[in-house]
Amino acid sequence: MNDAEKMLLQLQALSHPVRLWIVAALTRERALYVSHLAREAGISRPLMKMHLRKLENAGLVASATGQADNGKMANFYRVTSFNLALSPETIAQVGPLPETLSVRGDSNV
């Protein structure tokens, strides 16, 4: 995966209100587990899991198994120390996205 693809993946991961909230929550709380996050956010656990997966695929959060307050094993997430600088220059630098410049005929538009 090149730089442009990675940047895109990170941007897509962060472009949702719930996922921004997750990052903020994990920044304040060090580590939280899935069910807990789902409750706090007011969404279902499967949905929370999907959001977390998206963030994890982009490398913005990481997961580990641990023990919750109540003794049950839980799936904890923490935020990674990413730093993404977005300016015209940094975007221009990463270069083209593969397959973005697909062959396509112009029409009467």
Residues that bind DNA (CB under 7 A): 12, 15-16, 18, 33-36, 39, 43-47, 49-51, 54, 68, 70-75, 104, 107-109
Of the two residues 84 and 97, which places its CB atom closer to DNA in the complex?
97
30 binds, among DNA, its own copies, none (CB under 5 to 8 A by kind): none
In DSSP notation, 20-72 reads HHHHHHHHHHS-EEHHHHHHHHTS-HHHHHHHHHHHHHTTSEEEEEEE-TTS-
Instruction: Identify the three-state secondary structure at position 87.
Output: coil
How far is Cα 94 from Cα 64, in angstroms, rounded to an integer? 31
Q: Which is nearer to its own copies, 65 or 109 (CB)?
A: 109
In the list its own copies, DNA, none, the entry touching 27 (Cβ below 5 to 8 angstroms by class) is its own copies
